[in-house]
């Protein structure tokens, strides 16, 4: 892709116009989380290298992920929360099943 084509790949509103952008943007989180295959990762990274709009979107999502990890990463749930949640879920399941059987 030439430099002129790269400039044309993003409209004035910052939206991508390169083929496959919607798919790449939909898969940005799998790339950020390291959950995609090596082949898919290479394909996504290649697209990001050629598409400034998608690269900008990727950068924003990467910053959000970093910010969330920094702000929420060290907090632990209060003791007993897991058990209370499991109990509430099982109670809800029993109530729903009883309602279905009525």
What does the domain layout of the chain look like in residue ranges?
A: 3-76
pTM of the predicted structure, to 2 decimals: 0.54
Q: At what angle do helices 52-72 and 38-50 cross, to 10 degrees?
A: 120
Q: Would you give the end-to-end CA distance of the chain in angstroms?
A: 64
- pLDDT band of residue 39 (cuts 50, 70, 90) is very high
Contact 74, 67 (CB under 8 A): no
Contact 14, 56 (CB under 8 A): yes
6 pLDDT higher than 50: no
Which residues contact residue 62 at a Cβ distance below 8 angstroms, ignoring those fewer than 6 apart?
32
When comparing pLDDT for 34 and 10, which is higher? 34
74 pLDDT higher than 90: no
31 pLDDT higher than 50: yes
When comparing pLDDT for 17 and 5, which is higher? 17
């Amino acid at each position: 892709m030439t430099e002129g084509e790269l400039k044309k790949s993003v409209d004035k509103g910052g939206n991508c116009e390169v083929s496959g952008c919607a798919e790449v943007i939909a898969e940005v989180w799998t790339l950020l989380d390291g959950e995609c295959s090596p082949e898919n990762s290479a394909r996504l990274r290649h697209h990001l290298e050629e598409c400034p709009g998608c690269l900008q979107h990727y950068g924003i999502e990467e910053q959000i992920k970093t910010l969330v990890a920094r702000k929420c990463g060290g907090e632990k749930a209060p003791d007993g929360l897991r058990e209370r949640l499991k109990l509430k879920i099982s109670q809800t399941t029993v109530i729903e099943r009883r309602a279905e059987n009525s």
